Amino acid sequence: MNQSIERILWSIAIPGFGQLLNGKYLKGVLFIAFEFVINIHAHLNEVIMLSFLGRPSAAVAVVNFQWLMFYPCVYMYAIWDAYRDAGGKLGPYGYIPFVLPAYLGTVGVIYSPEVKIFGVLLGPMWLPMLLAFVGIGMGIVLRDWLSVRRQ
């Protein structure tokens, strides 16, 4: 498996693992600490559990939005950093597929108590994830479009 893809996958599991595998121990420990602190203060594990159980309203009730809003940016930055340090191909606009999901994931956190899709409240886990995937797709398209225009 490509080393940069391996780092992405480990960073998806826990932000900081990719940095540890890249030998960037201080950054790795800091990302793990950030993840731990944000997770605890946002009540993220309980939000994840309630979301998987199909109880998004209960997840909205327990989440600390002031802390959860940090998570998408820290998460995506840790993934980008591990990928870049592993020698992943970024090019001039290679950061865009990492930045847009961070932005849209944060927007998803903000609107998660209100937005319903087909009458279903997705809550503070599923809506940010959905928008993050939209951001990845938009980021890839935008990166490629900007690269073509640059030539």
Domain range summary for the chain, segments of one domain joined by +: 3-150
Contact 139, 97 (CB under 8 A): yes
Largest CA-CA distance found in the chain, in angstroms, rounded: 50
Q: Which residues contact 64 (CB under 8 A, 6 or more apart)?
A: 41, 42, 43
Residue 4's pLDDT band, with cuts at 50, 70 and 90, is confident
**Contact assessment for residue 22 and residue 82, using Cβ atoms and an 8 Å cutoff:** yes
Q: What is the pLDDT of residue 1?
A: 56
Letter string b/e over residues 41-71, b meaning 16 or more CB atoms within 10 A of that residue's CB: ebbbeebeebbeeebbebbbeebeeebbbbb
Q: What is the pLDDT of residues 14-35, one digit of tens each?
A: 999 999 999 999 999 999 999 9
User: What is the Cα–Cα distance from 103 to 94, expressed in whole angstroms?
Assistant: 16
Through-space distance between the first and last CA atoms of the chain, rounded to whole angstroms: 31
What pLDDT, on the 0 to 100 scale, is given for residue 89? 80
pLDDT for 87: 87
The predicted-structure confidence for 43-98, as pLDDT tens digits, reads as follows 999 999 999 999 999 999 999 999 999 999 999 999 999 999 998 888 889 999 99
- Span 69-82, pLDDT tens digits: 999 999 999 999 99
